[in-house]
Chain A
Amino acid sequence: MNFPWNKKRKSAEVAKDRLRIAIMTDKQNDNYPFMEDLKKDIIDVVRKYIEVQDIDIKKECHGEFEALSIDVQVKEK
């Protein structure tokens, strides 16, 4: 019941708010906004030299450092 003297929020409501924020933050930490464009550019560059099968770019966070890990899989012969 939502009586004025019963100010404590229901725990499901709290969970929902916390989840929303956590998931949004997870997504931001996972990605740079330019990831897709970068991927296309790298494919174009590498393709000049060798055929590309697949490419995988990851944003990695190690404590205070951020790293970009790029994995290029070349076409099997």
Chain B
Amino acid sequence: MGMIIAVISGKGGVGKTTATANIGLGIAMHGRKCVVVDFDIGQRNLDMILGLENRVVYDLVQVMDGEASLKQALIKSKSNENLYFLAASQTKDKSVLVSSKIKKLVDELSLQFEYVILDAPAGIESGYEHTIEFADSAIVIVNPEVSSIRDSDRAIGILDSKSQKVKDGEEVDKYLIINRIIPEMVQSGDMLSSEDILEILNIKLLGKVAEDKGVIEASNQGTPIILDPKSVAGAAYKRIAARLCGDNIPIQEPTVNNKGLVGKLKGLFS
């Protein structure tokens, strides 16, 4: 049985969909079979980030309702044969989700894939609750700023009370990704450091991703940033995927990008 991982955040727009696409592709590049599922019903986006929007014929609600088979709805990634994608419904709203049908779908997926990654909608309402319901573990995405961190704590609270695993007396594993770190600001004391955030949220750290303009360019093109060998964010997602595949890779702190002469000289001698 594959592992079911929900990507959550509480606050919207912090990078869940970007993370889902890149981690999914990273795991696939590691040779593991992986499916990424867009659970943001009514606000389909993962298809765009993966560059697969033209291939969507059936969505997950149609599969759950028996209008299409899983085989028909699963879309193979253009860049890696180990990665598949299941689209969110664009026409219906979150109220169409029913626990029993979700359970059946994720169970079926976890028979076919080693990793089943669910991209949660923003907020902590029913769409979110349904995404985490049958998850084995959760990746919590935060930005180093107060509202994102506070909201993520609420999302974690719901995860710890509403997921099936918790109701069965087990624990849901939680991993933190700090996204959009600006090293210069952390250094000058104007952005919360990773240590500060970990102290407040008290969950395991999975990775740190720097602010990277390339992420928007990558989404413009529909080619996840992990495919760009020069990108720092891409490299961070590679390490995160490797960690999820069991590799023991130390966490790297995003470093200040010294563009000045002194920085260049420092770079020469380090």
Contact = CB atoms under 8 A, between A and B. Distances in A.
B196 interface: yes
Q: Quick one: which of A11, A15, A26, A30 has the most chain B CB within 10 A?
A: A15
Interface string A10-34: 1111011011101100110010000
Contacts of A22: 146, 150
A11 B153 contact: no
Given A19-B149, A23-B153, A27-B157, A12 B200 contact: no
B154 interface: yes
B153 A15 contact: no
Interface residues of A, number: 15
A66 interface: no
Contacts of B193: 12
Q: Interface of chain A, helix or strand or loop or mixed?
A: helix
Contacts of B153: 23, 26
A26 B186 CA distance: 26
Interface of A: 10-13, 15-16, 18-20, 22-23, 26-27, 30, 54
What are the nearest 5 A-B pairs in CB distance? A10-B189, A16-B196, A11-B190, A12-B192, A23-B153
Interface of B: 145-146, 149-150, 153-154, 157, 167, 186, 188-193, 196, 199-200
